Structure 1
Amino acid sequence: MLQHFTLTFCLLQWIQVCLCSVTTDPEFGVLEGRNLTVPCHYEPQYAGYVKYWCRGRMKEFCTSLARTDEPSPDISTLSKQKVTIYDDPVQLVFSVTMTQLKEEDSGWYMCGVENGGIWSADPHAFTDIKVIHGMSVPHSRLSGEEGGSVSVECLYSEKYRESPKKWCRSGDWSSCLHTDSEGVHSDGSVDIKDDRTGAFTVTYKRLQVRDMGWYWCGAGSQKVAVHLQVLRRATTMMPVTTSSTESVPQPITSTSWNTQSYVLGSALVCASFLLILGFAIFARKKLLKNDPDPRHDAEMKVRFNDYSEEVGETQTSAIVFLNKNSQSSYML
């Protein structure tokens, strides 16, 4: 009976571990010479427990590399630490960071929670870390606007740190651009800069539509493909041509306002003068037509009578017929 009870108790503890376990990604790949951070998630009841990180495929033979109950490393020596661990009980996750990984660091690792019980196993999760030679890119597809700039980051392993880096259009070996002994390349359209720590950056300074396509960045015999898409620049609105009856409004300045005021004032004065003059002529004609001046008529009659008398005298004195025989004259 006691044996059945013991077996049942152990099974319950293992069931608890399965239901309330620690989880992480089953595998990670990283280039040699770079850093890696592994997140390990746990259930709320383990928030106050000690967390640890060890190397090995079995818990009993796992070599401890870091624990949360160990003293925090000094700031001056933090950069020299190969492995660091940090617990965040609010987010229910502890993270492990491994720096400057080498190929020999590849293998199985375990993140676990120290339960502390005799009859209970520690909640844990395994992950397989692979440190590889070669290259990778954080983003294999990039896009930029025509006329703008875009940068491509190419990562490489430590083995290719001193190797020349190159950027080529896929299918065209003659298009390859190479870095010099200083790890740089620069021309009118493309800049390449190698930081000599595991990454080089390719920057297009002014994208053209013809730049769109597949490329690959390489180091040594390694290469990785990248697709670059160029978006056409948004068209700008052209000014609308107005008809003769419409005009485009122009900004009013003090100079233009004074000029316009002077011209407008002069036009108003001329128009007023012409209007008054026209009205005066029209009124005079109307007045003369309806009410003629008697003095004017009398004057005209006097001038006419004088003219008539002069004409009569002229006729009387001018038309004379002489008869030599009679020496008499007849007045007509």
Structure 2
Amino acid sequence: MINPLILPGILLLISDAGIGSMNIRVKSGSPGIIPCLYDKKHKENRKYWCKGTHWVSCQILAYTNEPGEYSLTDYPAQSIFTVQWKNLKTSDSGYYWCAVEIGGSPDDGYYLNLKVQSAPDVSVASSSVSGHEGGDISVQCLYSSGYQNKVKQWCRYKDKRCYTVGRTDTSQNSSVQIRDDDGGRSFTVLMTGLRRTDSGWYFCSVEDLQVPVQITVTEPKRAFTTIAAAPPTPSEADIDTTQQSTNRNPTSVNKIIYNMTTDSRPETHK
């Protein structure tokens, strides 16, 4: 379903491809990256990143594959483009829009509330985590003391499926388990029995706040076994020694053979 947002002079279509109204927290002075979803039918269209409380006054900050303060990279196979930055200030907080330029029709996209904080209310120990197929990975989600009793979730971007405290199967061979450490003001997400299809973007969620995490699942490492060569048997060693002696002194060997041949001749009697 596509919901129209009507503003003076401009119409933007808010599609279900987006997560909707998200409240993302990022750390000031640090690099960061967030994903923007779009409908797969728009994979060939140009994407852009826009800032403004209202769409009518939204300022386009960057387009995909163009240099600038924000770097946008499109991944058509995943129907995602990422927005990456090197350094944001607290003054950069505000409403931003993940949008697709349609051309001749209303643009498609959705907005999110990005808040830059020196000590974010919600954060992650690492925003990019990798694992091998069949293995396990863990993600540590951190939160401030004011959110200790709030609902904690681990959600996937593409299907908006969320998992809360407890264990829930994500597929036939993998599962998600969330453990909340009240005293440490963090909760840990454990994904076991990883599959290649588990790769993608997720987010830690505490009440209505989110922080993105990229999960990458690769092929399992192959183990190589070195087999030691067996020592030669005594008979093989003797043959090898004789062969080496023969190669070093062929004249002596010929002489021995000659003597053996001469000595073995039968005597002739007159």
Short-chain TM bin: 0.3 to 0.5
Instruction: Provide TM-score, normalisation by structure 2.
Output: 0.40
Structure ranking higher on relative contact order (CA contacts 8 Å, 6+ apart):
2
**Which of the two has higher C-alpha Rg?**
1
Instruction: Select the structure that is richer in strand.
Output: 2
Normalised TM-score (structure 1): 0.33
Counting helix residues as a fraction of each chain, which structure ranks higher?
1
